[in-house]
């Protein structure tokens, strides 16, 4: 049976006032003119609830770039969904925040590029950090679930203490520390982002101590960079098992990065119902279950836990989307990943940036 404790990730727009060097949006950004209108999203939210979706993440780009965001929150709540807003906090003011809460927003996840203004702003190519601190202040006097999300990389791993203090002095009940994952823009900036092994080990100790100390006060979750792991992550909880992502123009993908895989055909919610797409679209069926697997995954005991790792990473690093994820120590191509790590280990200063220039994510037309 296809499990139905599903999450829907709705990329409402690819427009964004920030330009993060590790943005998870695709290289080819959807133009504003192709974005789904309000009523199409509202219909999709109702279809999602009928399909068994409970959690809806409104994300982007920056969802606040859509003037109809409050109406979308309202229609998702009316459909019975739990509504999270994943936002950079720009452009937001107290009036708009109150409108979103009145519309029924359940949870707001505010993303941070670091704890220090200058380095955070360098990563997103915008003066954004001070505004995020203002948003945290506004949230203190309002009732809504709050998560802070810190994206970690070589250049900010020395700021963990400061990041945690920002979280502790806020009204957040949850904080996510997420090491950058290397797809799209992040892959192109990987040389400057990948942490050293020492940095990574230190961060793991830090998270464990923080979890113990703050148990019952702050839920702390972290994602490790899989390049340093022995086994891959169970990407998206397995292909087409737990989540579905919709692009601004309504294409349905099994994950953020799936568009990098050649010859995968994505269906559009303007042409088919969400249920039809979930149950039978080619892109969802392609790597569902185990039939597509090759050795060593095919006969490996861990295949029901990690599902052979990430299909997009397999394509990006092995050139074959059905290969074992090359970050797996059992993959014949693991040496490719080790070679990248060796380059990082050879950089003298831990947080040195190899090239002084970043490749910034642009804005769509």
Partner 1 sequence: MTPDPSSRPHLAPGCRLGENQGNRVLLMPERALRLSGPSLEIVNRCDGKHTIAEIVADLQKLYSKAEPKKVEQDILGYLQLLHDQRALDFAS
Both structure tokens of 3:
């499990």
In the list 27, 171, 268, 363, the residue contacting partner 1 (rule: CB under 8 A) is 171
Nearer to ligand SF4, 25 or 170 (CB): 25
Least Å distance, CB 286 to partner 1, is 26
Both structure tokens of 355:
């090239």
From CA 200, how far away is CA 198, in angstroms rounded?
A: 5
Footprint (CB under 8 A) of partner 1, residues 118-157? 143-147
Nearer to ligand SF4, 63 or 206 (CB): 63
Q: Which does 107 bind (CB under 5 to 8 A by kind): partner 1, ligand SF4, none?
A: partner 1
Footprint (CB under 6 A) of ligand SF4, residues 206-245? 231-232
- Those residues whose C-beta lies under 8 Å from the C-beta of residue 214, and which sit 6 or more positions away, are 168, 220
Both structure tokens of 344:
């990082």
The interface region with ligand SF4, picked from 55-63, 158-166, 244-252, 334-342 by CB under 6 A, is 55-63
The interface region with partner 1, picked from 34-42, 77-85, 300-308, 322-330 by CB under 8 A, is 77-85
Q: Sketch the per residue contact string, 298 through 337, with ligand SF4: x for CB under 6 A, - otherwise.
A: --x-xx--x-xx--------------xx--x-x-------
The interface region with partner 1, picked from 38-46, 150-158, 214-222, 268-276 by CB under 8 A, is 214-222
Q: Which does 80 bind (CB under 5 to 8 A by kind): partner 1, ligand SF4, none?
A: partner 1
Q: Put the strands of the sheet holding 219-223 in their side by side order.
A: 219-223, 174-179, 145-152, 107-112, 82-87, 53-59, 6-11, 243-246, 252-253
Q: Sketch the per residue contact string, 42 through 61, with partner 1: x for CB under 8 A, - otherwise.
A: ----------x-xx------
From CA 79, how far away is CA 2, in angstroms rounded?
A: 22
- Other C-beta atoms closer than 10 Å to the C-beta of 37 total 8
Least Å distance, CB 279 to partner 1, is 16
Q: Report helix angle 69-79 to 94-102, nearest 10.
A: 20
Phi, then psi, of 245 in degrees rounded to 5: -115, 135
> Contacts with ligand SF4: how many residues (CB under 6 A)?
27
Both structure tokens of 320:
């074959």
From CA 54, how far away is CA 49, in angstroms rounded?
A: 7
Dihedral of CA atoms 251, 257, 262, 267 in degrees, nearest 10, equals -10
Least Å distance, CB 324 to ligand SF4, is 5
Rg of the chain over Cα atoms, rounded to whole angstroms, equals: 20
Contacting positions for ligand SF4 (CB under 6 A): 16, 18-20, 23, 25, 60-62, 88, 111, 124, 231-232, 296-297, 300, 302-303, 306, 308-309, 324-325, 328, 330, 361
């Amino acid at each position: 049976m296809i499990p139905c404790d599903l999450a829907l990730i709705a990329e409402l727009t690819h427009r964004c006032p920030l330009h993060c060097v590790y943005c998870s949006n695709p290289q080819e950004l959807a133009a504003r003119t192709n974005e789904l209108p309000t009523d199409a999203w509202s219909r999709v939210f109702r279809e999602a609830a009928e399909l068994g979706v409970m959690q809806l993440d409104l994300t982007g780009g920056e969802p606040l770039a859509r003037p109809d965001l409050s109406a979308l929150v309202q229609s998702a709540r009316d459909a019975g969904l739990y509504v999270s807003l994943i936002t950079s906090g720009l452009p937001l003011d107290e009036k708009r925040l109150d409108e979103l809460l009145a519309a029924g927003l359940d949870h707001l996840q505010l993303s941070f590029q670091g704890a220090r203004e200058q380095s955070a702003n360098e990563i997103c190519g915008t003066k954004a950090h001070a505004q995020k601190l203002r948003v945290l202040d506004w949230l203190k006097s309002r009732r809504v679930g709050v998560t802070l999300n810190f994206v970690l990389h070589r250049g900010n791993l020395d700021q963990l203490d400061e990041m945690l203090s920002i979280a502790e002095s806020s009204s957040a009940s949850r904080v996510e520390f997420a090491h950058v994952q290397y797809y799209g823009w992040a892959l192109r900036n990987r040389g400057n982002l990948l942490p050293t092994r020492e940095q990574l080990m230190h961060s793991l100790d830090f998270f464990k101590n923080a979890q113990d100390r703050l148990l019952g006060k702050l839920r702390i979750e972290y994602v490790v960079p899989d390049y340093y792991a022995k086994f891959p992550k169970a990407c998206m909880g397995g292909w087409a098992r737990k989540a579905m992502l919709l692009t601004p123009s309504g294409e349905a993908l099994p994950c953020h990065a799936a568009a990098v895989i050649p010859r995968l055909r994505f269906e559009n919610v303007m042409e088919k119902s969400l249920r039809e797409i979930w149950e039978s679209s080619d892109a969802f069926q392609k790597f569902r279950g185990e039939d597509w697997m090759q050795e060593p995954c095919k006969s490996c005991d861990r295949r029901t836990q990690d599902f052979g790792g990430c299909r997009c990473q397999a394509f990006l690093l092995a050139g074959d989307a059905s290969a074992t994820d090359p970050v797996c120590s059992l993959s014949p191509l693991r040496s490719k990943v080790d070679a990248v790590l060796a380059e990082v280990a050879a950089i003298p200063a831990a947080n040195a940036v190899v090239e002084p220039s970043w490749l910034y994510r642009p804005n769509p037309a």
